[in-house]
Chains A and B, each alone.
Chain A
Amino acid sequence: MKAIYNNLLGGRQGVIGLALLAALIFLVLPMFLDIFRLNLVGKYLTYAFAAVSLVLIWGYGGILSLGQGVFFGLGGYCMAMFLKLEASSPENTAIQSTPGIPDFMDWNQLTQLPWFWEPFNSFPFTLFAILAVPGLLAYIIGVAMFKRRVGGVYFSIITQAIAAILTILIVGQQGLTGGINGITDLKTLHGWDIRTDSAKYLLYYINGGLLIGVILLSRFILSSKLGRLLLVMRDKEDRVRFSGYDVSNFKIFIFCVAAMISAMGGAMFTLQVGFMSPSFVGIVPSIEMVIFAAVGGRMSLIGAVYGALIVNYGKTYFSETFPELWLFLMGGLFIAVVMFFPNGLAGLYEKHGKRIMEKIKSLRRKPTPPAEKTLAAGNDTSAAAREAA
């Protein structure tokens, strides 16, 4: 029991942090925001999945993956393919020249559903694919890279190239993927209309619950022996190898887990936003996910969630009101976080917040009696006098 409390929940500190986050997601935000804004927050929270996954691999593993958008996008596309097939039933698409296939395929003169779309008629398969497709891709990339000890900068650049490839591929194969517009007009999930307000509320809560679950899972991984090994590998990889561990397997494992976490976020994104497009896959979104984690604190799972919320809120606010300024701010944020707050918000809290909290606590517990002070002062003067003598 004690072990669960300490490891899974992170002790007293961790429980308070998690409880505050849960209260914010489940109580405070739904109470004060209308459904339109709440849906936006839900969208930001799906990015938080990617940010949490980056804390795992980048903060603890020291592997900067610039391809989290790929996994996020793959998860989202898997979900979108299922929803799209359901939305393009023969009755709904009767006006097309080939009824029963998604509209963009019809526009591109396809007459038959491509083979890789077929299995997405089944919901259980889709749920499986959301985790399995990104997981498999991550496994392949991981084996190819980590077994050959490609790491650091090279890994980042190659994952970035993979993000570029996937975007170009999706945009180029318009008939198969919906092209630059992505997969749009998603309507129902097993006959349940996901566009109504009540559905949006429910999806928001499911999303929040999943996010808390993912944070607990990540805590569990990080507090286990594997988490320790990750940290050691980040700092002194060779020593871990000399101690007899197969470093690459641990890296592959954590990379796959991170990919699956991002993919969950992507699937929830599709459900809540109602479409998926290549603009959430490529280089730019992937690197933005890194900044969410960096702003929140690359070593803090909960910080990453706040980072995703704050940066995205800022993005929405500034691009609505001062679109010119947004890129300046975003760029400035990148530079400032790296140069002045390498540990992000969580680091700032560690540095200043804790001290303030303790001050408040000590003030409340025992207001210092003035007599003690004079006594201490007296001691000081006597010490000084002794020294002088």
Chain B
Amino acid sequence: MGGYTLTELGSIFVMQGFAGLSLFSVLLLMALGLAIIFVQMGVINMAHGEFMTIGAYTTVMFSVLTAKFAPGFIDYYFPFAMLVSFLIAFGIGYFVEFAMIRHLYKRPLDTLLATWGLSLIMQQIFRSAFGAREVSATLPEWLLGSFQPTESIDIPLNGIFVMGLTVFVTLGVFYFLFKSRWGLRVRATTQNRIMAGAVGVNTRLVDRVSFALGCGIAGIAGAAFTTITSTGPTTGTLYTVDTFLVVVFGGAASLFGTIASAFSIAQAQSIMEFFMTGSMAKVLTLLIIIGILMLRPEGLFSIKVRK
């Protein structure tokens, strides 16, 4: 680390750390959706990244349409775009569960193959509909620019916005799973499907809504993603494996673990990225995750369960 003074190193850590926080936000939003699908339902959704891409393309479409038909509205379109991203991803997830996933609950490894097939189809649809080139949304004025607490530290505003959004969604998921009536049904179904059914929970509907909700959150992640970088047909795929690692690394059945692992993975990667090439940082991060998983297969935080 020669050549940097202490204050410079400090600034680098803060700025890289903040870049890590943006990555953390997207990873966490993705992982929250996946945690519901994977941990609660045991379905391996390899198309999760594509649901994120749906959200991203929806937001881009929104921004293009707003710029064309209602330029005065450009400062305010973003919340609506997010809502619509959520709804579209939710709707498609609902349909996918109905058409495909519900037939495969007893064969978790097969859901992996089937959803991989789904992700291939979705990618080709994106490519046919939006072209192979990456597109990006026109951001509202209030998302541009940056916040400068000291001279050498420079934090972009969109990162702060995405952070806030992530906190909001995370709290929402917490409330939904642990405080609401629906969450109670979801957790009951996970713990004992037959008993839950016996006491009158409509387990099929619970499955469908949970899956759709997970996909919907991925859609929100996609909307947040557009504020950071541009979107292409295969953008989502790159995040799917990472997201799975976040969930597995955090430990199944623990939302807190998911948050902690998303945070540590994102931070490790973005701080290392400054000192070596991006690809080596990624390799090192993944190796560390796998190394730790080999020592602690149950992940960082796990709930003791009797099997």
List residues of chain A with CB under 8 Å of any chain B CB. Answer: 64, 144-145, 148-150, 152-154, 156-158, 160-162, 164-165, 168-169, 171-172, 283, 287, 290-291, 294, 324, 327-328, 330-335, 337-339, 342
**A324-B128, A339-B114 given as contacts; is B109 within 8 A of A64 (CB)?**
yes
Are the C-beta atoms of B283 and A169 separated by less than 8 Å?
yes
Interface residue stretch chosen among B7-15, B59-67, B253-261, B286-294: B286-294
The one of A148, A162, A287 in contact with B297, judged by C-beta atoms closer than 8 angstroms, is: A148
Interface residue stretch chosen among B87-95, B116-124, B147-155, B157-165: B116-124
Contacts of B108 in A (CB 8 A): 152-153
**A153-B112, A338-B110 given as contacts; is B120 within 8 A of A330 (CB)?**
yes
Q: Check B277 for interface membership: any CB of A closer than 8 A.
A: yes
Contacts of B109 in A (CB 8 A): 64, 152-153, 156
Q: Check B241 for interface membership: any CB of A closer than 8 A.
A: yes
State the total of A-B contacts with C-beta under 8 angstroms: 106
Contacts of A338 in B (CB 8 A): 104, 107, 110, 113-114, 117
The one of A145, A172, A283, A339 in contact with B241, judged by C-beta atoms closer than 8 angstroms, is: A283
Not counting A331-B121, A334-B113, A338-B107, a sample of 18 additional A-B residue pairs whose C-beta atoms are within 8 angstroms of each other reads A144-B294, A145-B294, A157-B44, A158-B248, A158-B293, A160-B241, A161-B241, A161-B289, A161-B290, A165-B286, A168-B286, A171-B279, A283-B241, A328-B121, A331-B117, A338-B117, A339-B114, A342-B107
**A64-B109, A153-B112 given as contacts; is B103 within 8 A of A339 (CB)?**
yes
Are the C-beta atoms of A172 and B277 separated by less than 8 Å?
yes
A96 CA to B290 CA, complexed, in Å: 40
Contacts of B280 in A (CB 8 A): 172
Q: Check B282 for interface membership: any CB of A closer than 8 A.
A: yes
**A158-B290, A327-B123 given as contacts; is B282 within 8 A of A168 (CB)?**
yes
20 contacts between A and B (CB under 8 A): A64-B109, A148-B297, A152-B108, A156-B109, A157-B44, A157-B248, A161-B245, A161-B290, A164-B286, A165-B286, A165-B287, A169-B283, A172-B279, A290-B113, A331-B119, A332-B117, A335-B100, A335-B114, A339-B100, A339-B104
Interface centre among A153, A294, A332 (most CB of B within 10 A): A153
Are the C-beta atoms of A156 and B112 separated by less than 8 Å?
yes
Contacts of A342 in B (CB 8 A): 107, 110
Query: Which DSSP category, helix, strand, loop or mixed, fits chain A's interface?
Result: helix
Contacts of B119 in A (CB 8 A): 331
**A152-B108, A153-B44 given as contacts; is B117 within 8 A of A330 (CB)?**
yes
The smallest beta-carbon distance between A62 and chain B, in angstroms, is 8
Interface centre among B100, B120, B123 (most CB of A within 10 A): B120
A339 CA to B289 CA, complexed, in Å: 33
Q: Check B244 for interface membership: any CB of A closer than 8 A.
A: yes
The one of B107, B114, B123, B297 in contact with A154, judged by C-beta atoms closer than 8 angstroms, is: B297
Residue of B nearest to A144 (CB): B294
Contacts of B124 in A (CB 8 A): 324, 327-328, 331
Interface residues of B in 192-208 (CB under 8 A from A): none
A67 CA to B280 CA, complexed, in Å: 20
A171 CA to B289 CA, complexed, in Å: 20
Are the C-beta atoms of A168 and B294 separated by less than 8 Å?
no
A337 CA to B100 CA, complexed, in Å: 12
A334 CA to B110 CA, complexed, in Å: 9
Are the C-beta atoms of A157 and B245 separated by less than 8 Å?
yes
The smallest beta-carbon distance between B230 and chain A, in angstroms, is 21
The one of A161, A330, A335 in contact with B286, judged by C-beta atoms closer than 8 angstroms, is: A161
Interface residues of B in 97-149 (CB under 8 A from A): 100, 103-104, 107-110, 112-114, 116-121, 123-124, 128
User: What are the nearest 3 A-B pairs in CB distance?
Assistant: A334-B117, A172-B279, A331-B120
A181 CA to B294 CA, complexed, in Å: 32
The smallest beta-carbon distance between B29 and chain A, in angstroms, is 19
**A161-B245, A161-B289, A339-B103 given as contacts; is B114 within 8 A of A334 (CB)?**
yes
Contacts of B103 in A (CB 8 A): 339
Are the C-beta atoms of A327 and B120 separated by less than 8 Å?
yes
A212 CA to B154 CA, complexed, in Å: 63
* Cβ proximity bits B224-253 to A, threshold 8 Å, 1 near / 0 not: 000000000000000001001100100000
The smallest beta-carbon distance between B266 and chain A, in angstroms, is 16
Are the C-beta atoms of A168 and B283 separated by less than 8 Å?
yes
**A64-B112, A327-B121 given as contacts; is B282 within 8 A of A149 (CB)?**
no
Residue of A nearest to B128 (CB): A324
Residue of B nearest to A327 (CB): B124
Are the C-beta atoms of B293 and A168 separated by less than 8 Å?
no
The smallest beta-carbon distance between B295 and chain A, in angstroms, is 8
The smallest beta-carbon distance between B304 and chain A, in angstroms, is 15
Contacts of A328 in B (CB 8 A): 120-121, 124
Contacts of A294 in B (CB 8 A): 113
Residue of B nearest to A334 (CB): B117
A179 CA to B248 CA, complexed, in Å: 30
Residue of A nearest to B121 (CB): A331
Contacts of B279 in A (CB 8 A): 168-169, 171-172
A150 CA to B282 CA, complexed, in Å: 24
Interface centre among B109, B119, B282 (most CB of A within 10 A): B109
**A150-B297, A327-B121, A331-B124 given as contacts; is B282 within 8 A of A157 (CB)?**
no
The smallest beta-carbon distance between B251 and chain A, in angstroms, is 11
Residue of A nearest to B294 (CB): A144
A327 CA to B126 CA, complexed, in Å: 12
Contacts of B248 in A (CB 8 A): 154, 157-158
A349 CA to B124 CA, complexed, in Å: 32
Contacts of A149 in B (CB 8 A): 297
The one of A171, A283, A291 in contact with B113, judged by C-beta atoms closer than 8 angstroms, is: A291
